[in-house]
Amino acid sequence: MDPLSQLFAVYIQAATNNIADHYLDSMNTTVTTKSLIYHGTEIRFQHQLWKIRLKSVCADFEQYSFKLSKCTQQAKAMFTELCTQLSSKDNLNQKGRKQSNMYCNASLSYKPMIAYINEPEHKTAQELKQKECNLMILKAMQNSSEEVIKQKEKACSGTNKIKY
């Protein structure tokens, strides 16, 4: 291939890539992961076709209820704030308007997970005795030796449990 043809082929390829990239970016056809810091909390989520995938919001904290709760509440507030900020601007381009709609829709539809973590309640003496009785019943089911049965009867005496 002569140099002029190569140059023309490179030019056509670059123009085609630029058009394809612009189209993909404006239509948001690929899943995009975002990570934003909001009031000291890192909030990760995915979006595609200018819609936030609600199940992806703070998904990296699924195993930690308290952190997940904090992250999802912060995400809800962030979506609302971004919606307000972007909606108030008059000179947004098409991509900005789509982002504004995306955050406003998420602000309305996203439900944060709220977890309250309390200290466990103290058990009464009767509840502790019933717990010990239940454990001995289980042990007696696994081992029917006379010694275990006596331990079970001793642990369950005075409780309102059905004796097995």
Residue-wise burial string across 21-49, b where 16 or more C-beta atoms lie within 10 A, e elsewhere: eeeeeeebeeeeeeeeeeeebebbbbbee
Average pLDDT over residues 108-119: 87
Q: What is the rounded distance in angstroms from the CA atom of residue 81 to the CA atom of residue 75?
A: 10
- The tens digit of pLDDT for each residue in 132-151 reads 999 889 888 888 899 988 88
> What's the pLDDT score for residue 29?
78
Per-residue pLDDT of 22-81, as tens digits, reads 444 556 778 999 999 999 999 999 999 999 999 999 999 999 988 999 999 999 999 999
